[in-house]
Amino acid sequence: MEIGQAFTVSALGSQFLVGLSRAMILFIVSAGMSFVLGVLRVPNVAHGSLYMIGAFAAFSISNLLGGGTAGFWLALILAPLVVALVSLIAERSLFCHLYEREHLMLLLFTFALMLILGDLVKMVWGADYRSIMAPELLQGSVNIFDSPFPRYNLFLLIIGPLVGIGLWLFSNKTKVGKIARAAAVDREMVGAIGINVSWVFAFAFVLGCFLAGLGGALVSPTISVTIGMDHDIIIEAFLIVTIGGLGNMWGALVGSLIFGLTQAFGILFWPQFAIVFPYIAVVIVLTWKPRGMLKSVW
């Protein structure tokens, strides 16, 4: 059993940055999930499937456009929109009839949806491992803290806060955002004052799923795009949403940071057992604050 190595400032610094960049992806995906959970009260297990569809759509779009730099950027924009479209269809045809059901029913329903979407992805794209190339600009790495830091992760460090700011602006500065926030706190009241809650819900659902698709598209150049991605992310996203505070988007950020950073530092301190560190963090947080770090809307 070898515990750790020389904990130099540079080693700590580089692990911090790497962990932070991973946290950005987790934040984008779990913020979407948290948003849906907060506004619609739907624990969407199929969120991971939408993340997977985002990655596959990014693969297809970038391939269709020749796989070059332009293809990548367009894929990054179009893939989440494809996912948003899929989720709009799902919301209008299925979800909108189910909001009044109890949580267990919704959980089972979204679980079934996850299985169906998983099989659909297999039928459309097959079981092969796919790979997308990042544009030239984002390939390779730069030296930070005396250690190679992939340019793509640097890019994620920029995108993450941008998405965060965008979400903040949306929920605090736009009317729809404010209504959605209000609906998260008290949806009967929102309905009572004459707002068409049905469309607010549809919008919130599509936005949440758009974020899942964006997360999938963003992660696609760093991993193999293949079936099974949905299961990887969904457990992490659920834990993050739980420790952050159910339905609280900033809670998703806090949760993602806890998750990403404990993992990165865990790898440095005790690499053989690095897998368990984020989960230990979850246990500690939930023991200390059973309702999550920030205010849960439930």
Partner 1 sequence: MKKGYIWGIIVVLVVIAAVVVYFATRPPTIARPIKVGIIDCYSGPAAVYGKDALNGFKLALEEINKEGVLGNKIEFTTRDTKFKVDIALNMAKELVMRENVDVLVGTINSGAALAVSDAVAKKEKVPFMVWISKSERITGEKGHRYVFSTGENTAMAGKAGGVALSKKPYVKYWIGGDDYSYGHDIANAAWRNLKALKPDVEVIGKSWWKPGEPDLVPYITAILGAKPDAVIFCTGGRSMTNIMKAVKATGMAEKVPIWIHSATDHAVLKPLGAEAPEGVLGTMDYHFYYPDTAANREFVKKFEAAYGNPPGFPAFHGYITAHFIAEAFKKAGALDREKFIDALEGLKIASPAGEIEMRACDHQVVLPMYLGVTKKSPKYGFVIATDIVTLAGDEVLPTCEEIAEARKKK
In whole angstroms, what is the distance from residue 194 CA to residue 196 CA? 6
Pick the binder of partner 1 from 66, 93, 104, 127 (CB under 8 A): 127
- Are the C-beta atoms of residues 158 and 256 closer than 8 Å to each other? no
Tell me the CA distances in angstroms from 100 to 29, 106, 124, 241, one per residue in order. 25, 9, 33, 22
Tokens of 111: 């679980």
* Residue at token pair 């199929």: 46
For the CB of residue 53, give the shortest distance to partner 1 in the complex, in Å.
Answer: 16
For the CB of residue 153, give the shortest distance to partner 1 in the complex, in Å.
Answer: 6
Where does this chain touch partner 1 (CB under 8 A) — which range of 76-84, 130-138, 173-181, 206-214? 130-138
Pick the binder of partner 1 from 27, 109, 125, 149 (CB under 8 A): 149
Pick the binder of partner 1 from 57, 218, 219, 294 (CB under 8 A): 219
- Are the C-beta atoms of residues 203 and 176 closer than 8 Å to each other? yes
Quick check: 198 binds partner 1 (CB under 8 A)? no
Which of positions 260-289 make contact with partner 1 (CB under 8 A)?
263-264, 267-268, 271-275
Pairing type for strands 141-144 and 147-150 reads antiparallel
Pick the binder of partner 1 from 69, 92, 111, 147 (CB under 8 A): 147
Tokens of 158: 């920029």
In whole angstroms, what is the distance from residue 130 CA to residue 49 CA? 16
Residues that bind partner 1 in the complex, under the rule CB under 8 A: 2, 5-6, 8, 10-11, 14-15, 18-19, 21-22, 25, 122, 127-131, 133, 139-141, 147-153, 219, 221-224, 226-229, 232-233, 263-264, 267-268, 271-275
